[in-house]
Structure 1
């Protein structure tokens, strides 16, 4: 390209420069900030798409410094700008966001965007560019079907992250200068499964605990009910994970490790997440209502409602967030009891609340320790804690873990336990094992060696797995 080339390079924003969509970003930011006014955007949409974008831009704050920009497009802009070309940002996103992005990147000579009731997309964008630069008077980088008429009027077309069909339609125009390939379908599927956090499904094995506690694991029909309950709970949990990540985009992008999550990093379309979350939820409840007792569906509904409340509000409240997490783990046990139609004992519920409260506080401690290590003193983003709360959190967490040991010890003296086990005194051996595990978990967390969710950590940690095996042998021997 000549340095005196008078033809400007025009760059689209959503899906091209940005590996995301600002309309969806703003809708999610609005939902997070105004959950009780969730239906208001539908009324705004009645006034047209441009009106919707304007109202969302005015109501929803987006941190443009943390958005996932496509490095390939940034490199293209950098090369052309260094060659002396004029660079124009032309987007269907609202002018407010476009101007902020241009000010942040400092790469554009002009910004054209949706404003004054005109949604700058497809033919409207083409007409605006033709009015300013004339036929073949600009090069254009875009990514979607809406960009076809804009490419058709351009001198050169740059096709970014478009699927095979769109690439062929663009190639038929005869002016494609370069193609930046999208992610391969197999890689996209892996990313989708990562966003669903399939590895976290292992937590739902807790559903089987009431069956084991009732000594009914030798009944095939109940085991089958457990498998179905596990599947339903896992689908529901994945729906929740997707929704949580969509609503947590601003906080995740500021987090050291969470910024690598698929939605935060722009590796997976927000539209896919917004479509997949309700589909998984419908599948979970459809299977549950069809194949399992209605009480299981009721518990599953409670789990989803509490998790939704956690994602939208409760996670920002000190102490209540950790108690809610512990309650969500306990609901897995309640769901299992409902699916198996077996009683749930006071001892199992008490043990669950104390041990999982301890693990929830482990998670908070690990996050705050990292914040303190970085020298931060302000309140953690999206949380109700300060790095200075570390000592109190560790005290509360360790105390809760030790209370679970006390509950286990008292369980051995209960009359129902004596009747259920032939050698209940053997269960006492599980107490020092649990004391060791709780103490070790907190010591590792204190040393900064807790990098995963504590439940996931336990499933990867050899010492934890050995403790779990010995636990199982002790209860088997006591039976």
Structure 2
């Protein structure tokens, strides 16, 4: 006969699970607010008015106006495993959350793991002491075990039999442990891991695109002047900080679309590796730093171009990216604005030829990116419109035609550039520039052939900076222009 006199598991107190930051590696209030901004950009300030009626009123209005896809949210697998083990042992599982009941009920219906759902509704924001009081009223003192993650959970843990501390920082872990009932700790990601996720979200590798700022200086043959080089470095830093701010904002607004994408779902915010609040705070900080440096150390025209870049990017993130053709033209325009910013930083006028070449070339590369995305969708058998885009997989052939034609037009612009009087005055042997035309034809053709074969897995500009053949072509291109000087 066994000496174990413990009651069966089914007789144990229920296991109560918090939602935001515990079961979910995100925050539904922030998720719904960001979704509201994306779907209703003209009403982006409405939540501030709703907040005047109280936090629970804000949650209710957001839940009524924004429908989140709960099937794609980033759930913490460790908590799901804990629930699975306890549920298999016959234990009652309760979801208790400060999020609105509309979202809580949808999540419970999706997961099919909970016997009961307690959530914010009416005039009650079910957090902190209010959540503790509700649980004590239903189950009595130490009549439940509770898994939570935040300082608001301290009073709830205090009333529980056992506390499960999930993804909490060291200070909160110590405060919870001081209450003497912590049964288990599920640690947060290591600080270094969080830092890496933050840098990935900033997309530092994309900063290479901002080297285009130096192109007007090179084209004007003034790269040997130290003051111009210093201005270029400062302009590069400002543009890079602004671009990272844009990338963060774009990822915050594209959470739902990214989570349904075969590769973008692994991005730090979409996957829950990085808190949404970190992105919300970092976005204006990077943007402010970019403009502070630009306005202080560079000509005002540079900051004006930077502002135009940011406004156009914001319009792209909120609306233009979902419009067929206009999205690719906007991307080409954003690349061209980098050249214009460089001209403004150096005080160097831009030629018609450079602007025309930029628009045609970068339109081609923008269409490469769209083609690569749609090709993956077609190979998966998807015939529906791409999520968050204005294209269908059936548009592949037309996109390829338009993109290749645009790339070849950039070669034509380069050829015509060699016959311009200003070019003949700038170069001693302008006829040598003709040699760059077949090189560019080779590169454009190769890029499109690789994309057609499904070998383009990155932004084409970033791909070119990593691709050995592209680097060789670029070096030969530079050598030709140097020889013509």
TM-superposed CA distance for 1:187, in Å, is 1.1
* 2:251 paired with 1:245: yes
TM-superposed CA distance for 1:5, in Å, is 3.0
* 2:355 paired with 1:349: yes
Spell out, residue by residue over 1:283-328, the C-alpha distance to the aligned partner (whole angstroms, 9 max, x if none): 0000000000000000000000000000000000000000000000
TM-superposed CA distance for 1:4, in Å, is 2.8
Counterpart position of 1:31: 37
- Give structure 1 regions of 4+ aligned residues with deviation exceeding 2 angstroms: 1-6
Counterpart position of 2:233: 227
Counterpart position of 1:181: 187
TM-superposed CA distance for 1:3, in Å, is 2.3
Counterpart position of 1:8: 14
* 2:194 paired with 1:211: no
Counterpart position of 1:167: 173
Q: 1:111 is paired with a residue of what secondary structure?
A: strand
Equivalent-residue separation in structure 2 for 1:288 and 1:166 (angstroms) = 40
Spell out, residue by residue over 1:139-190, the C-alpha distance to the aligned partner (whole angstroms, 9 max, x if none): 0000000000000000000000000000000000000000001011111111
- In the alignment, structure 1 segments of 5+ residues that lack a partner are none
Alignment partner of 1:302 out of 304, 308, 311: 308
Q: 2:11 is paired with a residue of what secondary structure?
A: coil
CA RMSD of aligned residues (A): 0.6
Equivalent-residue separation in structure 1 for 2:162 and 2:170 (angstroms) = 19
Alignment partner of 2:407 out of 383, 394, 401: 401
* 2:332 paired with 1:332: no
Q: 1:27-176 to 2 correspondence within 5 Å?
A: 27-176=33-182
| 2:10–2:92 CA contact under 8 A, matched in 1 | no
Equivalent-residue separation in structure 2 for 1:397 and 1:5 (angstroms) = 67
Count of equivalent residues: 479
Counterpart position of 2:459: 453
How high is the TM-score relative to the length of structure 1?
1.00
TM-superposed CA distance for 1:222, in Å, is 0.6
Q: 1:328-477 to 2 correspondence within 5 Å?
A: 328-477=334-483
How high is the TM-score relative to the length of structure 2?
0.98
Q: 1:327 is paired with a residue of what secondary structure?
A: helix
TM-superposed CA distance for 1:132, in Å, is 0.3
Q: 1:281-300 to 2 correspondence within 5 Å?
A: 281-300=287-306
Q: 1:183 is paired with a residue of what secondary structure?
A: coil
Equivalent-residue separation in structure 1 for 2:345 and 2:10 (angstroms) = 73
- In the alignment, structure 2 segments of 5+ residues that lack a partner are 1-5
